[in-house]
Structure formats: C-alpha cells, structure tokens
Structure 1
Amino acid sequence: MKFGISYNTAFWGVDPDKIAAFARHAEGCGFESLYVPEHIALYPGAAVGPYELPPTLPYADPIDLLGFVAAATQRITLGTGVLLLPYHHPVILAKRLATVDVLSKGRMRLLTVGLGSLPGEAKAAGVDFAVRGRRADEAIDVLRLLWGGGEDGVTHKGEFFAFDDLCQFPKPAGVTHLPIHVGGSSRAAARRAGRRGDGYFPGGMLDLEERAAQLDIARTAAIEAGRDPQALEYTRWGTGDMSPEQVGELAEQGVTRTVISLAAGELEQQRDEMSAFAERFGLGSA
C-alpha cells in the first residue's frame, strides 16, 4: 500500500511557510505523495451534495501550488485530487504540467482529473456543463498526443479542440506521457478510468457494494479498450487515525494507494498526526 496525504488550502489557508513546512514534514515522514484539490471559482449557493461551499474558501491553483511544493521538497510525488479537467484548455494544461514535471525532476506523476459538479463554475469557465464528460475525454487524448509528439508536430481535429502540426516542448521528464488518474464517484467515471486512465480515484459516500461494482466496471472497460486491467491503480481516501486493520480491509478491496486527510488544522498538530501515522505504518521518521 502506498500512502499519500492531502493539503486543502480551502480549510488551512494559503500561507506559504505553513505549506512548505507541511510538505517537508510529510516527505520526511515517508509519505509517497501530496495531493491538492481544485475549485476555479465559487459563488453563493454553490453546493456539493448537501454541503454548501462558502464562496470565500481560498482554493489555490493546484498546479501553481504543486510547483511551489516541488521547490520546497526533494522527493515527494505531486498529485491533484481532483483537477477539474473540462475547465482547462488541454494545450495550455499540457505545457504547465510538463513544465512542473521537468522542474520537479519527474514528480508530477499523480494527476487526478474530474468533471466538476458546480454548474455555475462550468458557466464561468465558458464550458457547457452538459458536455463536460465528452470534453474531458477529448482533453485526455489531447494531453497524451502533445506529450508524445515530436518535432514534426501532431494534428488533432475533435469536437472541442483542433490544431495542425503542433509542437510542444519541454516534454515530461523521461516518459512519453504523464499518468492520468480519473476521479469521481459515478459509474461513468469508472468507465472513463478503464478506457483512458492510469488509475481510478473514487470519492463520494459509496457503500462497499457500489465501490466493488465500480472497480469491476473500470477493469471491464479497460479490457474492452485493449488495456491491461491489472495496471490500473486504485486510490481511495483515508484518515489520519486509520488502523492497520482498516488499511488491510482497503487492500483486500484492491486499493493500491490511500490518500490521508488530517483532522488537525494547526501545523504542530498536523505534524504530530503525520508522525504518528508514519510510525504506525512504518513509513519512516521525520
């Protein structure tokens, strides 16, 4: 089992000293990765399920934030959980992600993308909320096309994006494309993960039966697409107080990575919680 950790600026703020100290401590404790979420814009009344999001929540740009984390650390892998892919132009996004990967020496490797659930956010980004799934599918294809293209350029003519003989450098460090994991809590997200993703990161309040069904859907979709279903990584959320027994249960469900959310809000308590988790699971010592 691999263990990542989440830093959410919406709750903990955008203090650069605190973010750097949090990331360094996570790295020292032996956490594999650090994940950050995204909202591009909020508005009064915006809600995820029954939970209303205060419009003043300070969601930082995830790619810029991860670039900052990369500069403050040496080893920890960089992840998004999740980046709202339909609201980004893939040509620009490909450049930004490859740049962070190169400057971090190959650590921008846990990009998790989702569709977004706020119609007002889609409208603000100029995206038709109803077609954001198809837009995300095409964006994944464009990202990989650009990362894999050579000096002769690549051409794409799709429903949402089109270009001819396009060259984009720098390339990701030492790989033909960056891994793309798919987040979500629907069967459509599971199918997208199987058809196009390198991993599946479901969220939501799903029961065990639905989670098992979605993992099966993802693996079946991978087979139908001519891909190896066993190569699909399976990531789930966890908490800082998890027991080895709980992690073992996740492993039995096929989970290969757990991303930990901490209960503490202050840095010193977060450090203590990280250190205790690392000791409990033998990750290392800070």
Structure 2
Amino acid sequence: MFKWLLLFVGAGLLYLWIKGKKQAALDANNSPKPNKNKPERAVNPEAMVQCQCCKVHLPESEALTFDNRFYCSQEHLHTLDSNGWIGDAQWRISPNQDVRAENIDPDLLVIHYISLPPGEFRNQTSSHHIVDFFQNKLDPTAHPYFAEIADQKVSSHFLITRSGVLVQFVSTQNRAWHAGKSDFQGREKCNDFSIGVELEGDGDGPFEAAQYQTLANLIQKLSRTYPQLQFVGHSDIAPDRKTDPGIHFDWKKFQKETGISAEKMPFGVDPR
C-alpha cells in the first residue's frame, strides 16, 4: 500500500513539473519582442550654465537663478564680482557712464534721493520711471515734469526702491554721472572717485526700514573690495545745489546698521 502511495505522489509531481515547463515556454513566446527597426529614444543631456561670478560651468538644475543669471553658490550670488556688479541686484545698464581714470578706485560713497514724478514714490509703483530715466527711456508725455528732464543724461551706480529692491545701472569700476559739480576735501569732480547710491524718496519724509537694510547689505559687499570708502550725502559735496539725502535720512541709524567708524563719516551723523 505504501509503495502505491509513493508512486501516486511521484506521478503528481512529474505532472506539475511538465505543466510548469510548458507554461514557461508559452510565456516566453508571448512576451513582447524588441523592435530592431525602431530607433531608441535619445536621452538629452542636461543643459549646462555658467556662474556669472566665477564662470564655472554646472548643470542648470544645480544653479541658483537671479534676474536671468546663474550662480554656483549663495556666496557668489551675494557678492560684488570681479567686474564690479552685485549678484543679487537687478541689472539695468545705463548708457550714461564712462571709464574711470587709470589706477583710480572709488573711495567715496555718495547718498542721494530721487522720486519720479516728484513725491509720487509713496504709491510704490513709480520706481520704473527712475529706471527709464537712467536708461534714457523716460516718456516725456507721461508726466509734465518728465518733459523738463527727459533730455538729461544722468545715472547712478545703484538705486534702492521703497520696498528695498536693489537695482544696479553702472559697474563700480566705471564712472556714473550722479554727483555733478562737486568737491570733497579739495578734490573736485567727485564722479571720478565715487559710487552713487539713490534712495527712492524725497526730503519731506523718512525712508523705509527695508531701504536701510538693503543699503547696509550693499555697503558690506562694497567695503570688501573698497575698504577705504568714506560716506557722505550729495549735499555735503554740493552744498550750494543739493539737499539730498535730506534731514530725514537717519545717519545714526545708518552708522549703527553698517558698523561704519566715525572716521569714515567726515560730516558726522547729525541730520542735515
């Protein structure tokens, strides 16, 4: 009886083995075959971009993007590059500039104010008029005041809007046309050796906290390259013509937030 049971079990196992082999063969015959005539899909390589600061190439997915430019690191984004441009500023190049005299590095920073149209900066939608003005694109029909100034050719290195946005028009290595007839400690033509910074506003009210913060950050970056910078207002170097940045510019707050020494502020920190 036991022999018959073993024979029955063996026959069952043999049947299952033969059935499994047949199913495997059937599955193999029914599996999709590669089409030798169909070209393989090409794998496109990832686009490479160049760091605006150090010029190293890297995959676009690994780059930091700002104002349609690429950077390889936060450090390079937030710095003054070797060509005199701040990475985290909006670049809006002005035609109103020229080269500095040979071997002249800026050692003076001049603070201005500007509002186009006058007094209308409070709606925080007029900053583009300043950009247009420095790029010689101001529409003289858009406002009566614009017709008076549309033909002027002026620029500044930087503009800080009411919301704290930093715009750069001219490389710090070049001369912007911001100071006009001016004199600093017996040195005339301050454009030759200065950097101009415009704050959006006028002399009738205070500037925004965001503007002081952006200004402090900017000066920190500039001071690494130009450690001899001194800091003045436009009225300090052109007292017969100009009043900016005005009595509402807080020089004490400016000094506190920047950490500038008193020696680099030759006109002091009192309102003026």
Instruction: State the TM-score, normalized to the length of structure 1.
Output: 0.27
Bigger share in helix: 1
Instruction: State the TM-score, normalized to the length of structure 2.
Output: 0.28
RCO comparison, higher one (Cα < 8 Å, 6+): 1
